[in-house]
Structure 1
C-alpha cells in the first residue's frame, strides 16, 4: 500500500548540538574515504550546513584530533612515484593546498629519483610507443602528461631508445625546452 506524503510528518528541527554532531559525523565519514585537504573538507561541510561558524568549528575539531592535515596530504601526493613534480604541483594546487606547502613538497622530491622513475615508466611503455609513427614524440607526450620535466624526459628517451636499438635522434642539448617542461 502506498503512503501519501501527508501522513509522513516533516522531520523535527535539530538542536544546535545535534546539528554539530551530525556535521562532525559526516566529516569523519568523508575523511574515512580518502585524505582530504582543508579546502576540500570545507567545501563538503559547507554543502551540508549553511552556518559558517559551525563549519569552522567542525573543521577545527577534526584538525585538532589529527584527522585532517594538509601537510599529510601534501606528503602523500609528493611521495607518488609515477608522476613528476609538475603533476604533484598541479594536483596540490587544484586540491587547495597553500603555495608554501606546495613549494616545500616539490622541493623535497629528488630530481635523480624522478629521472629514474621517468626512465622506468618509459621502459615499460616503450614497446607500444615504438610502434607509433613518431615514438619519441609519443614518449615525450606520455611523460609530459605525467608531469615530468623536459630534461628528465629527454634523458629517459635517449636511454630507452638506445637500449631498444633505435637511433637516438634526440638532440643532445634540449635547451630549447624551457625548465617547466
Structure 2
C-alpha cells in the first residue's frame, strides 16, 4: 500500500469513528442578528426598495415577523428608504419617464412615491438626453431601410414618450435636409 493510500485510509477511519456534534439551531436573537447583518450587506451592494429587501430576507428566513422587525430596524437607522430609491432612479440619465416608472413598479415602490420622484424630473433635461442619444445613434439608424422608425423604436424602448420623440425626429429630418442641400452645393 502506498503512503498516500494509507493516509487516506487512516483519515477515513478516524472520520467515521468520531461523530460530529449535532448543529444547534440559532436562537431567535442570533437569527435576528444574522438577518440584520445580511440586510446591511445587501444594502451595501445596491440600494434596494423595501419590497426587494423583504423578498431577499424571506428567502433566507421564512419567519415573516422576524423579517418585518429587521426591516423596521433598518428603516429606523436610515438605511432603507423607498423615496431615496425612487429619486435615484428618476435622476438616471439616458432613460425616459416611462421606463423609470416601469422600473420602480417592478422594484415594488409605492405609486405615490414614484409620482413624487417623477415630478422632480426636468422635462427639458429629458428632451436633451433624448436628443443626445438620437445624435449619437443617428448614423447607425441611417443605414437602416426606415431610419426614423428605427430611431422612434429605440427611444420608445428607452422609455421616452411619443410626444417627446416626434419633435426630435422632425428636427433631425429638417437638419438632414439642410445637410443634404449643403452637400449638393
TM-score (norm 2): 0.84
Q: What whole-Å deviation, never above 9, does each CA across 1:48-68 have from its counterpart, x for those lacking one?
A: 112111101100111111111
Structure 1 pair 160–11 and aligned structure 2 pair: CA distance change class (3 A) = farther
Paired residue for 2:99?
87
Q: Does 1:142 align with 2:158?
A: no
- Cα deviation for residue 38 of structure 1 reads 0.3
| Aligned equivalents of 1:160, 1:7: Cα separation in 2 | 77
**Match for residue 75 of structure 1 among 84, 87, 92:** 87
Q: What whole-Å deviation, never above 9, does each CA across 1:124-143 have from its counterpart, x for those lacking one?
A: 00011110010000000000
Paired residue for 1:162?
174
Count of aligned pairs: 166
- Cα deviation for residue 163 of structure 1 reads 2.5
Of Structure 1 and Structure 2, the greater helix share is in 2
Paired residue for 1:17?
29
| Aligned equivalents of 1:39, 1:10: Cα separation in 2 | 35
Gaps of 5+ in 2: 1-7, 180-185
Q: Does 1:36 align with 2:48?
A: yes
105-114 or 43-52, which moves further after superposition?
105-114
**Alignment RMSD, CA only?**
1.8
| Aligned equivalents of 1:124, 1:67: Cα separation in 2 | 38
Structure with larger Rg? 2
Moved over 3 A (4+): 1-4, 6-10, 164-167
| Aligned equivalents of 2:78, 2:70: Cα separation in 1 | 12
Q: What whole-Å deviation, never above 9, does each CA across 1:24-44 have from its counterpart, x for those lacking one?
A: 000011111100000000001
Q: What whole-Å deviation, never above 9, does each CA across 1:123-180 have from its counterpart, x for those lacking one?
A: 000011110010000000000000001121112212233333489xxxxxxxxxxxxx
TM-score (norm 1): 0.85
Paired residue for 2:119?
107
153-162 or 127-136, which moves further after superposition?
153-162
Gaps of 5+ in 1: 168-181
- Cα deviation for residue 103 of structure 1 reads 1.1
